[in-house]
A and B are shown apart, each in its own frame.
Chain A
Amino acid sequence: MKFKAFFTDDGISLLDKRFLPAMDKVGRVCHVFFTPTHAMLLHNLLGATAAGPDGGGPQCVAQFAKDLLFREYNVSSRNGNQIAFSVEVALLHRALRSVLAVHAQPPAAGDATGAPAIQVKLVNKLPAGSRTATPFLTFETKGARAAVVQDVPISRPLSRSDIERLQAALDAAKDLPQTLVQVPDLPQLQSLVDRLKNVGDLLTVAVTQYGDLHLQVSTSLVTVGSEFRKLRVIGDRANAPVGDQNLTSSTRMDMAVERGEALSVQVNMKHLVKSLHCHLAKPDCTFYGIAPGGACLTVVFQYFIPGTRLADKSISFYCRLPVLDPGSN
C-alpha cells in the first residue's frame, strides 16, 4: 500500500482556506479516501444504509479530481488501488498550516530555484517507546531557512470490505434529488437557523417544484417558519398555482405536497446547523433538494471555474442529512 504526491498550489490553498475549516466544523474526525482518480474527505459515510444516511449525523462528501489537489499522484494498494483511513481534521489542518508557513519563507538571495513543493505520503513509523509501527500521513517541505516534516497520526487503513462499503455509500449518494432550489444567501440562512434553533430541535424542510424553500420549527406552543420563494430551480419544475400568494406559507406548502409538487422532510436541527458550516468552504452556489421518497435532505455546493460561471467539475461537495420521519411522505 503506497501513497505519495505533491500538492499543487491551488490544491493546498483550497484545503487550507476552505475545505478543512468546513470539514472540521462538521465533525472532529473524517475519512480520507484516495482512489486512482479522486481524493476525498468524507464524514459519516460508513454506517449509512443504502437508502440514506443513518441518524448519526450529516454525511458530507468533498471530492476532488486528483489533478486539482496533486501532481505526481501515486496510489497503489491491493484494494483496487484505493486507500482510506480516518484522521483528526484539526491535526491535519495544523500540519498543513505548518508546512505552508515554512514553504512560504522567501528564498535566500541568489537562490534562483523556486520553492520546493510540498510532498505528502503515507508512512509507517515506529513511535518512540513503541514496538509496533504506526501509520502516519507525512508532509514534507523545505523553506529558505528550514525544512519541516509533519507526521499526522491516522487510523489503520480501512479493510477491503470497509472500502467497499464506503464506495457503495458514495455510489448511493450520487443520486441527485429531482428538484433542487438555489439558496441565494447562505450566511443569511445560517443566521436564520441560528435563531430558529432556540425554538425547537426538529426542523421541517420542504422544497417545491415552483422554487420555494420552506423551513419550519413547531412545538406545542409555537410554530416558527421561513419561506423563500421564486428561487432558481434545477430539475423537475412546475408553475406555481395562480392566486396562492394570498394563502399562508404553511397552507401553500401543504397544498404543494398534496399535489405532489413538493417534498417535505423532518431533520435534526443540529444536523442542519452542522451542514451550514460548509459555507466556510465558500461555495459559489448552494442548492437544497429532497431525495426521492424523502430519503434525505441533500445540500449541494457548487464551484465555478475561476473567472467564469461554468461549474467546476473537478470539485464535488455535498451533504446529506438523515431524515427523522421518512414515512411521512
Chain B
Amino acid sequence: MSSSTSVRDDDAPDLVCQIDCVHGMVDALSCVRWKRHQDAVMELSEHGIVLSVEESGCLQGKVFLKRELFVEYDYGGDGRQRFGLSLGLFVDCLNIFSSPGHASAVEIRYPGPDMQLLLKSVGSPDACLYAEIRTRIPDTVSWDYHFEHDGNTPVTFTAKSAVLKETTDDLEWPGSSIQIRMQPDPPTVILKGEGHGDLQIEFPYYANTDLLIAFQCDHEVSYRYKYKFLRATTSNIPSTVMKENRRTKVSIGRGGMLKIQHLVSLARPGMPYFRNIGGGTEQTSRIAHIEFFVKPEEDDNDA
C-alpha cells in the first residue's frame, strides 16, 4: 500500500488549481449546458481551462476560464491536455461543493490515478468533501467552427444580455427557423421567425441606445438559424449576468457563422479583492468568457 502511494505521490498531476468561488464557475459552465446529459471536452494548458460542448455539427459552446481566475494555477503538462467528461456530472459535482454558507475553496486536479478529474474542498483540515469524475478519451474528429470576418469590417452588434435572452424567448412562438438580418442603412438588426406564424423584432441602432450598445455593419447580411440552436445560446445565461447588466456581443462571420459572446462573473460576493496567482486583482475583473458558434441553415442564404 505504501509503495503504491509513494509512486502516486511521485507522479505529479498535470494540473493543480484552486478556485475560491465555485458558484461563479457553476454559472459559467451551466451557460453551455443546454440539456441534461451532455458530453464535453476539457482542454488544459498553461493559459487556463477551456471547456467545449457541441451538438449536431451545428452548435458549439465554449467556456474560457483563464488562469488569472484561479487562486492557484499550476500546470505542468506537455502542451495541451484534452479529455472528455460529462458536463452534467461536472456541474452537479461542483454544485455539491457550493452549499449555502460554506464557501470553501475547491482544488481541481488532473489526472487522478485512473485519469479522473479530482475535486477536493480545501481549507478545513478536519472535514473534506471530494469528487472523482471519470474522464474519457475525446473524439479525434475536430469540430469545424472556424470563424473569420466576412470582409474588412466585422459585422457585429452588442446588446444587453437580458434583452437578447428576452428576444430569443419571444421568438419561440413562431419557432423553427430564425432569420437574423443586419443592414447598415438605417443601421438595424432584424430577427424574424417564420413557422406557426410570423414574428419580427427590430433593433434600430439610433432609435434606442438601450437596445443596441454597439453596431458595426458595412453591407447587408442575412442568414437563417435553427431556433433550438439560437435558444441554447441564451437559455442558461445565469442570473448574475442580468443583475450586473452585462452585454453580449453577436458577430456574423464568413458563410454566416454566428458567434455569440457572453461574460459571466466569477467574483465572490462581498469580497472586493482577491489574491490570484498573479498577485491580486479586483473581483470585478474576474470574468469567464463564454462563446457560442452557430452554423446557418443551408440553402437559405439571402446575402
Measured CB to CB, the residues of A under 8 A from B are 188, 191-192, 195-196, 198-199, 220-230, 245-249, 251, 255, 258
Contacts and interface: CB of A to CB of B under 8 A. Distances in A.
DSSP majority for the B interface? mixed
A221 B130 contact: no
Contacts of A229: 125-128
B130 A228 contact: no
Contact of A224 (B126, B127, B131): B131
Interface residues of B, number: 22
A228 B93 contact: no
Nearest to A255: B1
Contacts of B102: 188
B89 interface: yes
Contacts of B130: 224-227, 248-249
A229 B129 CA distance: 11
Contacts of A224: 93, 96, 129-132
A230 B124 CA distance: 12
Contacts of B127: 226-229
Interface of B: 1, 5, 9, 86, 89, 92-93, 95-96, 99, 102, 116, 125-134
B86 A192 contact: no
Contacts of B126: 228-230
Contacts of A196: 96
B92 A221 contact: no
B163 to A, nearest CB: 34
A221 B96 contact: no
Contacts of A191: 99
Nearest to A214: B128
A251 B86 CA distance: 25
Contacts of A195: 95-96, 99
A230 to B, nearest CB: 5
> Do most interface residues of chain A lie in helix, strand or loop, or is the interface mixed?
mixed
A195 B26 CA distance: 15
B111 to A, nearest CB: 14
A12 B125 CA distance: 43
B4 to A, nearest CB: 9
Contacts of A246: 9
| Residue with the highest number of chain A CB atoms closer than 10 Å, among B92, B116, B128 | B128
B93 A221 contact: no
A21 B115 CA distance: 46
A227 B130 CA distance: 8
Contacts of A188: 102
Contacts of A223: 116, 131-132
Contacts of A258: 1
Contact of B129 (A192, A220, A251): A192
Contact of B93 (A222, A248, A249, A251): A222
Contacts of B96: 192, 195-196, 199, 224
Nearest to A185: B127
A248 B102 CA distance: 22
Contacts of A228: 126-127
A198 B129 contact: no
Given A199-B96, A224-B129, 20 more contacts: A188-B102, A221-B134, A222-B132, A223-B132, A224-B93, A224-B96, A225-B130, A226-B127, A226-B128, A227-B127, A227-B128, A229-B125, A229-B128, A245-B125, A247-B5, A249-B128, A249-B130, A251-B1, A251-B5, A258-B1
Nearest to A224: B131
Nearest to B1: A255
